Structure 1
Amino acid sequence: MIQNNNELRAAASKGTVDGPASDLEATKTGLVVAPFLGFKINVINQLSFFAEANLDYFYSYERQDAVTQDVSNTRTLNKFYKSEFLFNPVSIGLQIHLGSN
């Protein structure tokens, strides 16, 4: 299980005739859960063959807070909840063991 935190703070625009500049702060927090299944076979002592598959589930919460830089200082708050699946059907490979025990 891995937790991920990202934060962005920036000026959204410099202000134009269409509207004033905004101070924007976005925070995103996520959690990844990844069950996996695999096997490894030692062909000889120095060489192994492996194959694995996994399914990742990512759930995130994002909060965007924007404050216009004008007389009224209007605050806009947006919240987003997202979930994604990532399926890795098969990964295969060879592993070379250079050391000795």
Structure 2
Amino acid sequence: MNAPAFRHLDIPTLGEWLAGDEPLTLVDIRDPVSFAEGHIPGSRHLDNDSVPALFEVAPRDRPLVVVCYHGHSSQQAAAWLAGQGFAEVYSLDGGFTDWQLRHPDRVER
């Protein structure tokens, strides 16, 4: 049995989507302290406790982008979320670390 498909998303493309106000759901799976210290604007923290709330509010037909530290653990989360009925799921390559290096002025604290 194959894992549900997700796609890889690069930093420049996410930057374009956010600048163009593309409708998407952005979730950050890093630990709560790291998220509080800085995250991509518009993202929501996602952990085991907040998954049910995400399922209630996030449209399943809207692109869903998963962010972690470096783009590794977000792949597992993205595959799992794709299996939960989200039609278009992405894992951000390079994660928040790369985003913050490229866009220090686009970090919400």
Structure with greater helix share of residues? 2
Question: Max radius of gyration: which structure?
Answer: 1
TM-score range, shorter chain: under 0.3
Name the TM-score, length of structure 2 as normaliser: 0.20
Name the TM-score, length of structure 1 as normaliser: 0.21
